[in-house]
Chains A and B, each alone.
Chain A
C-alpha cells in the first residue's frame, strides 16, 4: 500500500465484516513512533484462528483464497523496525496494533486520514478516530455527529463531503505544518 491510511482502511473493513457496531481507531505520532490501533466489538477470532491470521492463506473469504489485509499491515510496520500485534476474543472483539518507526526510510507516508475515514461512514456502525501528534489531539466520533444529524443519514453525499473537510482542517491543525 502506498499509504498507511490505506492499510488502516483495509483493517477497518475487517471490523465491518466482523459485524462490529463500534470501531475505535487511534493514530498517535510521538517520540519517533507512529502507533496505530484499530479496536472493534465484532465477532472476534478463536485462539487457533488468531495464531494463523497473519498468514495470507488464512481467510474466511469466499471470493478468493488469500486474505492480504493483515499480512500487508504487519509487513508495513515490521519493515520500519516497528512491531505488529493482534488480540482477539470470540464474541467480544479484536484489537490490531501496529507501530512504525517514524524516521525509517522504509516507512510509507501516513497519507490521507480524512479521505479514508469518510469512506467508512454508515448508519449501522460507529467510528471513533483519535488523532494525536505530540500530545495535540483531535477526536472524531460518529455518535456525536449522528446525534446532531437526527434523521439525516450520515452517509448522505453532502454530509460525507462536509465531514471530509472538517476532518482535513482539524488534522492539518493538529499536524502544525508537518507531514507524517
Chain B
C-alpha cells in the first residue's frame, strides 16, 4: 500500500527535473481551470478535473497545472473549463465531460489548436 514515505522518491525525481529547468519557466505555465461551485460539481466537474490531472501527469508535463475555481456564473453550461496558455487569450470550454477533456488535452494542450466545437456558443 502506498504511504507518505513514497512521496520522497517522487519528490526527488521531480526536483531533479526542476534543477534542470530555466527560472523563467514559471511564467510559461499553462493552466487548466475547472469550475467547481455547486453547479459545476453537480454537472460533473470532479471527473473532468481528475481526467485532466491524470493526462498531464501521465505525460509528465511539468509546466501544466490543473486547478479549480468557484462559480463561473454560467450554471447551465457547466462543467466549464478555462485554459490559460501564456501569451494567448483565455479559452473557455463548456459542458465538458471526461471524453471531451481527453480531446481538449490532445488537441489544445499538447497540439496547440483550440477545439472550436466545445467553445461557448457552439453548444
Contact = CB atoms under 8 A, between A and B. Distances in A.
A156 interface: yes
A164 B38 CA distance: 22
A144 B71 contact: no
B71 A61 contact: yes
Contact of A9 (B11, B36, B39): B36
B71 A63 contact: yes
Given A9-B36, A64-B71, A158 B65 contact: no
Interface in B32-75: 34, 36-39, 41-42, 46-47, 49-50, 52-54, 56-58, 60-62, 64-68, 70-73, 75
A145 B6 contact: no
A169 B1 contact: yes
A13 B70 contact: yes
Contact of A1 (B42, B49, B52): B42
A46 interface: no
Given A152-B15, A165-B2, A158 B60 contact: yes
Given A61-B71, A115-B47, A149-B11, A157 B4 contact: no
Contacts of B54: 157, 161
A174 to B, nearest CB: 11
A152 B18 CA distance: 9
A159 B60 CA distance: 11
B66 A64 contact: no
A55 to B, nearest CB: 15
Contact of B67 (A67, A122, A169): A122
A72 B38 contact: yes
Interface in B54-107: 54, 56-58, 60-62, 64-68, 70-73, 75
B46 A119 contact: yes
Given A119-B46, A119-B49, A63 B73 contact: yes
Contact of B10 (A61, A72, A158): A158
Interface string A150-180: 1110011111111011100110010000000
A31 to B, nearest CB: 27
A3 to B, nearest CB: 9
Given A13-B36, A115-B47, A162 B7 contact: yes
A32 B57 CA distance: 39
B14 A156 contact: yes
A161 B97 CA distance: 19
A169 B2 contact: yes
Which 8 residue pairs of A and B lie closest in terms of their CB atoms, listed nearest first? A63-B73, A157-B56, A161-B57, A166-B2, A157-B57, A148-B7, A63-B71, A68-B38
Interface of B: 1-4, 6-8, 10-11, 14-15, 18, 34, 36-39, 41-42, 46-47, 49-50, 52-54, 56-58, 60-62, 64-68, 70-73, 75
